[in-house]
Chain A
Amino acid sequence: MKGKYGKLIAGLAASVVLAGAATTASAEDTIKIGIAGPMTGPVAQYGDMQFTGTRMAIKQINAHGGVMGKKLVAVEEDDACDPKQAVNVANDLVNKGVKFVVGHLCSSSTQPASDVYADEGVVMITPASTNPTITQRGYDNIFRTIGLDSMQGPIAANFIADKIKPKRVAVVQDKQQYGEGIASAVKKTLEKDGVNVVMYEGINAGQKDFSSLITKLKQAKVDFVYYGGYHPELGLILRQAKEKGLKAHFMGPEGVGNKDINTIAGDAAEGMYVTLPPSFDTLPKNAGLVKAFKAAKEDPTGPFVMTSYAAVQLIAEGIEKAKSTDPVKVAKVLHAGTFDTAIGDVSFNKEGDLKKFNFVVYKWHSDGTKTRVE
């Protein structure tokens, strides 16, 4: 085509054709399940757990004949635990015609993505986002297979108040939805229990230099620090705190309970307290499943492996029970019944939260193992 604008028109036309070709109609004999989580980024380790659990579930369900005779197909996308990317992923999955999503992982990603899914009527089950606001907006197609920070916070705070009885507590958070949510929940309960909270500080995710924070903590004679956030930052805080002589105990939510914290903090990770979901891999009925994971050289002990596995199970059972792949119908069925999954018997309340879920307090060790604390 001649003319300056020839290029422009050709470009537009080409893009239309290419994009159209890229989004071909899905085959009729498969059901797409979107898996959205961090494949890259600072908390990719947790994304690994999510993908491990979902892949195993899909493999096993397909091996047993699929769902309503159709095979499950995973559409995996990376949101890097970033809200902006999560929205792009959500739009992308919707554009691809995906109607069921297991994801996202980080609360700050799940929240905006859920707006997109709710608008489109897509069923979303998050296996790891614990922030309460995700299910408090009246959406009927958003579920989660993990507990809430409104439960995890008080469990941690009561433990601190009853068992540790510290004199001066500081609460630190990374200002993201997950960290800030759990930290404020803990702070509220601590104050209710009469514990002396002397500082409430925020740090930036990705920060490396915590010397001023630690110096401030030292000056305030803090002997216990609750940190709301993920392991990269807490690992550095632990290490730098030990270096600088801050004598305090630390506690964090499940976002810090990861072996990688030992690679960063070294010995300083010894004695850290952490609240985690119960170890579903130790349930007797999951013995066969654990063996299957180990045979595939995957680690079933991560906190989000079983919850992700269960999420896929729920979608499969929901479709079977509703006898339809219409997500609106499946959502209704999920709200109504009780299902048998790898994390036990599951039933949802009106908001889409599990009716019961217990967090357990563990003590973390410098060799990466943990022991349960009563």
Chain B
Amino acid sequence: MLAKRLPFAALCAVLTLVMGLPILGLNLTPQGIHIVLKSAPSATFMWIALGAAVVFLFQLFKDYLSGFWRQVPLPKASSFTPNLEGRKRIYAERAGWFLVAVLAFAMPFFASRGATALGNLVLIYVILGLGLNIVVGLAGLLDLGYVAFYAVGAYSYALLHQYFGFGFWEALPISAILAATFGFVLGFPVLRLRGDYLAIVTLGFGEIIRIVINNMTWLTGGPNGIGGIPNPTLFNMEFGRIVKDPGDTLFYKVLGIEYNSNHKVIFLYLITLVFALFTVFVIKRLTKMPVGRAWEALREDEIACRSLGLSRTGIKLSAFTLGAFFAGFAGCVFAAKQSFISPDSFNLYESVIVLVIVVLGGMGSQVGIILAAAILTMLPELARDMAQYRMLFFGLLMVLMMIWRPQGLIPMKRTPVELARE
């Protein structure tokens, strides 16, 4: 009966007041040389009271509400997909990807500069998400320090340019391989660790790399970062207003058209799009190869894996290395896009965002991750006015996602392979 829940509901309401009143209601403000308490506007107190009332009522009527809730059917992802089998499915998938690729290529020519730049950022996070997907989604290894490889890729390019004058195309493979090497090296110590310990160690590595970069001011510029990183060139044609690297020509001069700074943005976007499609393709192929299947086997049951003779070392190392490879890739592209990097771009928050993209999208699911990357990158931009509350909602979103839909937006579906009948 209602009366039974009354004391508990009252307790919850009181707790809401305790949590809200001091922090929201009494603001510490400097006044001259002292700190004083200023009470918040009365609207705040009303909100707190309202919140407490809502909590009270919710707890009181919880049983009725949850019963009601259970009757509301949640839309399932499968209801969006047409029911195709075998061959038709493969063709439909290919057609879908082709359509998406065409639209993506066409977008920058119709959209505004800001939208193109945003699309570019989305694509970078897509690459990151797909890379981390290998480690977390497919292989089931919880990596909280993924941003370290991202940083290695970005700083490789920046340092190679600053000290050796490398251009984008020369530095790209080096960044990716260097990041992959770090991934390989990091893989060794964590071979024996499982679950939470793995998460902690990778988190530690991520932070160590950031702190070391931050402290080595003589090499990396420390907290001031490295600037002046050139954008990618097209056959030695630069897209800027003035030539930065001697020996390059200028795009608009070569084509004989007027300078438009949008060219740079569009070119960057197209390059990143090519890389993103490359990443999707490569990883898709990998999941169908023995390596990919081994990752998923590891995730499902490590002990069974070992008893079947699969080398746990090999699987883990390959997952880490390949994941790091793509992170390095993305890092190099990021450095070229921003023209400036600092250790603060590679903090734990970035690792978390990429992790949330993977989990939100559905671990292992490529389509889901692309969608999640798009949503998570575009949301703060679209909600610029609410920028202050962005992080608040982000945290809330993470909690709610975990409670309501932990399998992600578009959970991975493995296409069954049918054996031909005898």
Show the binding face of A for B, using Cβ within 8 Å.
Answer: 2-9, 11-13, 15-16, 18-20, 22-23, 78, 82-84, 87, 91-92, 94-96, 108, 111-112, 115-116, 119-121, 175-177, 180, 202, 204-205, 259-260, 262-263, 366-368
What are 7 A-B interface contacts by the 8 Å CB criterion?
Answer: A16-B107, A19-B382, A87-B340, A95-B117, A119-B261, A177-B224, A263-B35
Q: Does B404 contact A (CB under 8 A)?
A: no
Q: Does B96 contact A (CB under 8 A)?
A: yes
Q: Does B236 contact A (CB under 8 A)?
A: no
Q: How far apart sit A203 and B242, CA to CA, in the bound complex (Å)?
A: 38
Q: Is the CB of B33 within 8 A of A263?
A: yes
Nearest-neighbor residue (CB-CB) of A179 within chain B? B223
Nearest-neighbor residue (CB-CB) of A111 within chain B? B227
Q: Is the CB of A368 within 8 A of B33?
A: yes
Q: What is the 8 Å Cβ interface bit string for chain B, positions 182-222, against chain A (1 contact, 0 not)?
A: 00000000000000000000000000000000110100001
Q: How far apart sit A4 and B369, CA to CA, in the bound complex (Å)?
A: 13
- A19 partner residues in chain B, CB cutoff 8 A: 111-112, 114-115, 118, 381-382
Nearest-neighbor residue (CB-CB) of B97 within chain A? A5
Q: Is the CB of B30 within 8 A of A3?
A: no
Known contacts A3-B80, A5-B100, A8-B367, A112 near B340 by CB under 8 Å:
yes
- Kindly identify which residue among B33, B114, B344 contacts A84, using a CB–CB cutoff of 8 Å: B344
Minimum distance in angstroms from B161 CB to a CB of chain A: 14
Number of contact residues on B: which range applies? 35 or more
- Kindly identify which residue among A16, A92, A120 contacts B111, using a CB–CB cutoff of 8 Å: A16
User: Which residues, 137 to 164 on B, are CB-close (under 8 Å) to A?
Assistant: none
Known contacts A3-B81, A20-B112, A115-B228, A175 near B367 by CB under 8 Å:
no
- B33 partner residues in chain A, CB cutoff 8 A: 259, 262-263, 366-368
User: Which residues, 57 to 85 on B, are CB-close (under 8 Å) to A?
Assistant: 77, 80-82
Nearest-neighbor residue (CB-CB) of A173 within chain B? B217
Q: How far apart sit A94 and B261, CA to CA, in the bound complex (Å)?
A: 10
Q: Is the CB of A9 within 8 A of B99?
A: yes
Minimum distance in angstroms from B350 CB to a CB of chain A: 10
Q: How far apart sit A82 and B343, CA to CA, in the bound complex (Å)?
A: 11
Minimum distance in angstroms from B223 CB to a CB of chain A: 5
Minimum distance in angstroms from B265 CB to a CB of chain A: 9
- B367 partner residues in chain A, CB cutoff 8 A: 4-5, 8
Q: How far apart sit A78 and B381, CA to CA, in the bound complex (Å)?
A: 14
Q: How far apart sit A366 and B107, CA to CA, in the bound complex (Å)?
A: 60
Minimum distance in angstroms from A53 CB to a CB of chain B: 20
Q: Is the CB of A260 within 8 A of B30?
A: yes
Q: What is the 8 Å Cβ interface bit string for chain B, positions 399-410, against chain A (1 contact, 0 not)?
A: 000000000001
Q: Does B49 contact A (CB under 8 A)?
A: no
Known contacts A19-B115, A112-B340, A263-B33, A12 near B374 by CB under 8 Å:
yes
Q: Is the CB of A176 within 8 A of B114?
A: no
Most buried by A among B96, B114, B370, B371: B114
Minimum distance in angstroms from A374 CB to a CB of chain B: 25
Q: How far apart sit A366 and B222, CA to CA, in the bound complex (Å)?
A: 34
With A83-B344, A180-B222, A367-B33 given, can you name 15 additional A-B contacts, CB distance below 8 Å?
A5-B99, A5-B367, A8-B367, A9-B99, A78-B387, A82-B344, A87-B340, A91-B117, A111-B224, A112-B225, A115-B228, A120-B241, A177-B224, A202-B217, A263-B30
